[in-house]
Amino acid sequence: MNKLITYSKKGLIGIWISLLSLTTGCWDYQELNDYGFVMAVGIDKSHKKGEYLYTFQLVNPGVITRNASGSHATPIATYSQTGRTKLEAIRKMSQQVSRRLFFSHLQVFVISEEILREGAALKVFDVTDRDPQGRINFPVLAARNTQAYKIISALTPIDDISANELKNKIETSKDVWGENRVTLIEEVIENVLASGRDIAISGVELTGDSKQIGKAESILQTRAKGQTKLKGIALFNMQNLVQWADDETARGIMFGSNKIRGAALNINCSKNNNHHLTVIVNYSKTKIKAKITKNRPTIDMNIAAEGRIGEAECPIDLENPDVIHELEQRTSTEIKKEVELALAMGKKNQSDVFGFGDAIHQADPKTWTKWKTNWKKYYPKSQVNIHARIFIRTTGLRTNPYMKERD
């Protein structure tokens, strides 16, 4: 009996050991140091017809991990490759890069304005969408007046990896200034050919000396040369970039499409003076309701925002609720004006940037099935009622500004 037990124990151990061979996943094993981590992808026009120039920003792991300031290597390296499809370029890249490209840590996608205007550039996301390792929750940017490879070749002083810097920049700016839309790849994929909404992508341009881009010297000084800067929002008609919206118009797009997470609005202190007062917007919610009247879309856009006085460079009595009310009214008018600017630009370019089509689809699915195919004809005719209302809740740590005349 005893012998039998020991025998079966041996057998059991044998089975266990042989089972271990199944747990290795030997076909799909992956070694970390075989991979090159791609942080940013840029797409430009290639000199060959029908091909694009793909540029990949890779991390230089040695420089990043060594954490040494004396190193001469740059923290990132960029490589370019042409190809008819993105995957062709990725695989062909193995002729240039010693490591296999790995896309799970991709932070940002930059596409040059030139090819966005021609349309059809947005088809390149398919490989990202399809790839099991791919993620689609990172932003796309449009390289404005420049090439995408230049944007992602720039070295940046504060964040080592410029892809991270670009991504952090847009996230931060969205939260505090509100003129840059964070458009994720998944939004582009969902809306690019959908009839009810057009996409809008933030722009990024070069500032400073563009010849210094990518040189280590460009960041070896306090005033870094050859940097990138976010600028404006690109409006699209289906998949073609049609116009750039800047400043107030860009913020109008953000207000209208319920994307404001924070903003700072300047208004005049009172009707006839040029002193300024800044209202900080902390919260904004936009509701779009659609209905059909006389074969014409009627849209009600309700914007409700909340904020506080951030700065008042003028003599004004902020202790008086009536003054606050008046300021609220003027800020609301300002918001309304910005949204109207954005709407006018959208209508002019047949760009349904606020998604009125989706609103009609939700409100009246039957009419929408009839309108869907030529929605772009109905869209400019839509009657839009914009209601903006901001509540100024507090005035900060002081009530009246010190500029106010004291007795």
Partner 1 sequence: MENARISPFQLFCLVFLFELGTAVIIGLGMEAKQDAWIAILIGLTIGIIVLFIYGGLYQHYPDALLTTYTKQIMGKTIGSLISFLYIIYFIYIGARVLRDIATLLQITWLQRTPILVISMVLVLVTIYTIFHGVEVLARTGEIYLFVYLFSTLVTVVFLLFSDVINLQKLLPVAEDWRLILKTAFPVISTFPFGEMIAFTMFLPYLNNRRKGFRYGLMAMILSGVLISFTIAMDIASLGGTMVGRSPFPLLTTMGKISVNTFIQRLDILACIILVIGGFFKITIFSYAAIIGSADLFKLSHKKLTLPLATITLLLSIIIAENTSEHFKEGLKIVPYYIQLPMQIGIPIILLCVALLRKRLLKKTY
Q: Which is nearer to partner 1, 55 or 183 (CB)?
A: 183
Tell the smallest beta-carbon distance from residue 86 to partner 1 (Å): 18
Q: Which stretch binds partner 1 (CB under 8 A): 93-101, 108-116, 262-270, 356-364?
A: 356-364
**By the rule CB under 8 A, 274 interacts with partner 1:** no
Please, what is the Cα angle at 145 between 142 and 146, to 5 degrees?
80
**By the rule CB under 8 A, 17 interacts with partner 1:** no
**How many angstroms separate the CA atoms of 251 and 181, rounded?**
9
247-256 vs 321-348: helix crossing angle, rounded to 10: 100
**By the rule CB under 8 A, 361 interacts with partner 1:** yes
Q: Which is nearer to partner 1, 135 or 291 (CB)?
A: 135
**By the rule CB under 8 A, 68 interacts with partner 1:** no
Q: Which stretch binds partner 1 (CB under 8 A): 214-222, 239-247, 321-329, 361-369?
A: 361-369
Structure token pair of residue 121? 């550039």
**By the rule CB under 8 A, 300 interacts with partner 1:** no
**By the rule CB under 8 A, 16 interacts with partner 1:** no
Nearest residue to 84 via CA among 140, 127, 116: 127
Please, what is the Cα angle at 178 between 400 and 380, to 5 degrees?
120
**By the rule CB under 8 A, 362 interacts with partner 1:** yes
**By the rule CB under 8 A, 25 interacts with partner 1:** yes
**How many angstroms separate the CA atoms of 180 and 202, rounded?**
6
**By the rule CB under 8 A, 159 interacts with partner 1:** no
Q: Which is nearer to partner 1, 57 or 195 (CB)?
A: 195
- Tell me which of 135, 215, 337, 376 binds partner 1, using CB under 8 A: 135
**How many angstroms separate the CA atoms of 165 and 379, rounded?**
38
**By the rule CB under 8 A, 137 interacts with partner 1:** yes
Q: Say how many C-beta atoms besides its own lie within 10 A of residue 205's C-beta.
A: 19
Residues 170-189 that bind partner 1 (CB under 8 A): 186, 189
- Tell me which of 365, 373, 397, 402 binds partner 1, using CB under 8 A: 365
- Tell me which of 22, 32, 68, 397 binds partner 1, using CB under 8 A: 22
**How many angstroms separate the CA atoms of 338 and 332, rounded?**
10
DSSP secondary-structure letter at 70?
S
Tell the smallest beta-carbon distance from residue 227 to partner 1 (Å): 25
Tell the smallest beta-carbon distance from residue 188 to partner 1 (Å): 12
Tell the smallest beta-carbon distance from residue 104 to partner 1 (Å): 9
**How many angstroms separate the CA atoms of 229 and 174, rounded?**
13
Q: Say how many C-beta atoms besides its own lie within 10 A of residue 245's C-beta.
A: 26
**How many angstroms separate the CA atoms of 19 and 25, rounded?**
12
Tell the smallest beta-carbon distance from residue 261 to partner 1 (Å): 11
Helix (H, G, I), strand (E, B) or coil at 336: helix
Q: Which stretch binds partner 1 (CB under 8 A): 130-138, 223-231, 315-323, 385-393?
A: 130-138
**How many angstroms separate the CA atoms of 278 and 323, rounded?**
14
**By the rule CB under 8 A, 292 interacts with partner 1:** no
**By the rule CB under 8 A, 291 interacts with partner 1:** no
CA 164 to chain centre: 13
Cα Rg, the chain, nearest whole Å: 27
Please, what is the Cα angle at 246 between 391 and 181, to 5 degrees?
65
Q: Which is nearer to partner 1, 194 or 292 (CB)?
A: 194
Q: What CA dihedral angle connects 45, 51, 53 and 54, to 10 degrees?
A: 130
Q: Which is nearer to partner 1, 197 or 225 (CB)?
A: 197
**Contacting positions for partner 1 (CB under 8 A):** 22, 25, 27-28, 132, 135, 137, 186, 189-190, 194, 358, 361-363, 365
